[in-house]
A and B are shown apart, each in its own frame.
Chain A
Amino acid sequence: MTKYFVVKTTANQEKIVASLMAAGVKKRRINLYSILSPKEIKGYIIVEAESNEDIVNAIRGVPHIKGLVKGDVSFTEIEHFLKPKKAAEQIREGFKVEIISGPFKGELAVVKRVDESKNEITVELLEAVVPIPVTVKADNVRILEKTGEEEV
């Protein structure tokens, strides 16, 4: 079983730290498996390793590291950073979304249909007088509200 640790870094140096750590462990036989830098968290990276000892060894001497957060975090706590490959896979019928590019940029809409194979969604614009279905690429929307989704 791997464990997940949180390492504090200088803000905006997360990627460099991740690269330096990865380069360092290959040479030194440290059981480090992956390093995650989600855009949502600035100044922190998540490191997947076998043990606390591995992580302590891996961060030694690496610049821009400010410390190791005590203890490990569970996979469920980091799972939401690992989004599915296609944007459409994250979207369900009934979700409220904002269109972020194209002719309807800035419009709010409700999802009526999801086509995962084409990575497209069909929405109805909230502000429209007559609700006309509009099909857009799923990458061109941002999820605002996961209404209609069952809690897992």
Chain B
Amino acid sequence: MVEYACKKCRYITEEPTICKVCGSREFTKEWHGYVVVIDPEKSEIAKKLGIKYAGKYALIVS
């Protein structure tokens, strides 16, 4: 199971076709750090990272 991160919004997915968060088609296997956002409205971490939708995200993509 390979997980890819969207290069634009860092959303993590196993299907690197179209990002369901931002619509980008650019993905990378080179990512580090991990955040699971459960409640983007209440999470200060999500706000700081600019994440508006629940899901798994990479902290750094390259």
Residues of A within 8 A of B (CB): 2, 14-15, 18-19, 21-22, 25-26, 31-40, 48, 50, 75, 78-79, 81-83, 85, 87, 139
B47 to chain A, nearest CB (A): 10
Determine the residue in chain B with the shortest Cβ distance to A139: B62
Residues of B within 8 A of A15 (CB): 34
B35 touches A34 (CB 8 A): yes
A18 touches B60 (CB 8 A): no
A36 to B33, CA, bound (A): 8
A48 touches B34 (CB 8 A): no
- Number of B residues with CB within 8 Å of any CB on chain A: 21
Residues of A within 8 A of B10 (CB): 85
- Which residues of B, 19-51, contact A by the 8 Å Cβ criterion? 32-39, 42-46, 48-50
Determine the residue in chain B with the shortest Cβ distance to A14: B34
A40 to B33, CA, bound (A): 8
Assess A39 versus B59: contact at CB under 8 Å? Given A79-B48, A82-B45, A82-B48: yes
B38 touches A22 (CB 8 A): yes
Residues of A within 8 A of B36 (CB): 18-19, 21-22, 34-35
Some 23 contacts from A to B, beta carbons below 8 A apart, are: A14-B34, A18-B34, A19-B36, A19-B56, A22-B36, A22-B38, A33-B39, A34-B37, A34-B43, A37-B34, A38-B33, A39-B33, A39-B60, A40-B33, A48-B45, A82-B45, A82-B48, A82-B59, A83-B59, A85-B10, A85-B49, A85-B50, A139-B62
